[in-house]
Amino acid sequence: SQQGEEDPQALSIQEGENATMNCSYKTSINNLQWYRQNSGRGLVHLILIRSNEREKHSGRLRVTLDTSKKSSSLLITASRAADTASYFCATDFWGAQKLVFGQGTRLTINP
């Protein structure tokens, strides 16, 4: 399967701490994206990183990409209770006109 895999499956931290989620994939990619899903809702795009980029920032989000290890990480700094959600990585493979999603990391921020 080309599906990405997130690690950990679930993460629970205290408000104010940093949260790190990892994503691994199997084949060469065009780009990698991270999405967020609040409970019972649709997914919302957070950030995209291209295969020739190594790091990208957006507000409290920091994404890294290591194509040699076929992995990416999403760091959320200074977490807030409102960050509680599931986070998915999605990869766009060369030659494919679709995204393939991982199974997600369920993040819980405790007040």
Partner 1 sequence: DVKVTQSSRYLVKRTGEKVFLECVQDMDHENMFWYRQDPGLGLRLIYFSYDVKMKEKGDIPEGYSVSREKKERFSLILESASTNQTSMYLCASSPRGLRKSGNTIYFGEGSWLTVV
- DSSP characters over 22-86: EEE-SS-EEEEEEEEE-TTS-EEEEEEEETT-SEEEETTEEEEEETTTTEEEEEE-S--GGG-EE
| Among residues 73, 102, 107, 109, the one that binds partner 1 under rule CB under 8 A | 102
Judged by CB under 8 A, the stretch of 13-21, 64-72, 77-85, 90-98 that binds partner 1 is 90-98
| Among residues 43, 63, 74, 107, the one that binds partner 1 under rule CB under 8 A | 43
Give me the count of residues in the chain: 111
Assess 85 for contact with partner 1 (CB under 8 A). Answer: no
| Among residues 20, 22, 31, 64, the one that binds partner 1 under rule CB under 8 A | 31
Phi, psi (deg, nearest 5) at residue 19: -120, 130
In the DSSP assignment, the letter for residue 103 is -
Residue 36 or 79: the one with the smaller Cβ distance to partner 1 is: 36
The partner residues of 88 in beta bridges, in order of sequence, read 35
Return the amino acid letter for 79. S
Judged by CB under 8 A, the stretch of 18-26, 37-45, 57-65, 75-83 that binds partner 1 is 37-45
The contact set with partner 1 (CB under 8 A) reads: 3, 30-31, 33, 40-45, 48, 50, 88, 92, 94-104
